[in-house]
Chains A and B, each alone.
Chain A
């Protein structure tokens, strides 16, 4: 069902912790325990190193691309408690901004929807979540939510920019009804929803279902339905799908997707939000899809292993 079409040799000297394609799939950013962030041009199956960014003093955990309308901008977060925002100007990549407001490893960064401007959410092991906003040329505003999760925050993910369902009601030409929301998961076993009201961030919902640290959360892209969907995974081996049907966002119901035998580290939604990828400690990545009657089914397993995989590309056969 799937075949490997390209392998990029990043030359990282240590473990890779994250890899992200840019918006169009033409560039790849990787980060590693070797403290570097690398950017490659991967158009047409090639790999050209565009930048080798040094600036972190510890393993770099995540990278995130901002929306192309702001230019080529990449954020990275690291064990060294720093969040660095890099920008490409005149063909070269440089540090655009460095945020050092956390007391402990920053574990997750996520850019908000482009309609909100350039805004980055950062979750840290010091339990706080920072919202870093670009308010003008080289001007950055910081809003910090202290003690968002006791012990530490492991993941943050933004809600899509339009309040679900409101697109149908808006007369064209008017600005849609924006409410800034995001979800976070932490070492307090909780999944929390945050909403901005009158310029302040407030805890909107507390979702309890996990019995161990929540490792990752993902808010599904909006497909125009009045439903909001969030996936969360935890060290307790469970993956939950949370849905909210009403526009006010108050009643969330949890559905257990699956109980795995090992820690589940990552969940991520596909671009159209109809497939959820779950990365587990059992060395496999499983893909899940919701069928029309609301049930979730596993559609494919992608796992590591030995053996030949033949990949067919335009008539040529190569064996790897």
Chain B
């Protein structure tokens, strides 16, 4: 009975590692073995183990994490409820259901001697596996043992010769990450280079953050921010006397000023601010409202030039008669038109001038122009 169980468990664990190896390709056999310190079947245990341990030290961290991750992924698969037929033993607690709080030896009673389903050699192996997994060694060990126990029970009952892996692992709690204490480290957010480096180095810090013991008390100690001993590099008089051109690069300075100003621009907080923005971009009539905004060309021309247009009749228009009368009406009309520029008004008048000159003969015939 005992030997078969050992065989079965040993095959079970070997099969486990093989599965790990084949399915996930994460660990080489040697690595796994050295990690878990499972004694090899052949008798060359001592020296091989030593060299393996040396190797293991190098890869320990990485391999441990991988194994943990792997076990974590297994543990989340569906749990298959194990039927319990051996009812008498069930009044014993199953330590795997305990909460995650670290357990002491007293809380987890060792498997009672009367139900020695697990061979001591295997128990020792389990211990080592638990050790190599890290974290709470005792908890892991007892979990492993209890899992193995139910496994052994099942196999001994010979109903299910080999349970599937996920069942084996489902109750097993695996550390998902390196256990960190609950202390909250007061994290600084600073944006200088110093901080950047500090953040990069952060990973190398010891995991346990110990709040530094403050040297001074929390009593307010006044610091005079301007009370230090001056460096005396610059002298006041000289700097005031010598008026040197402040900057050699005006374009740079202008650009810099603009960029700095932009760093404090926030999205407009109300409609007025938005209107200010639009005004600056030239999209809006400026306040106070001025109808002549943007009419720079027109500003150069006086009012009288718009209104008194009769001067343009001088020299070609008859002094009296219907044409004079007509042209005076044209001038009045044009002088009241706010939409035309002076140039256009002049052009208008000149058009009539040309027109009447073309029709000079007819006009003379009908007597509109004095001979």
The answer to whether A binds B is: no
Chain A residues engaging chain B, CB cutoff 8 angstroms: none
Chain B residues engaging chain A, CB cutoff 8 angstroms: none
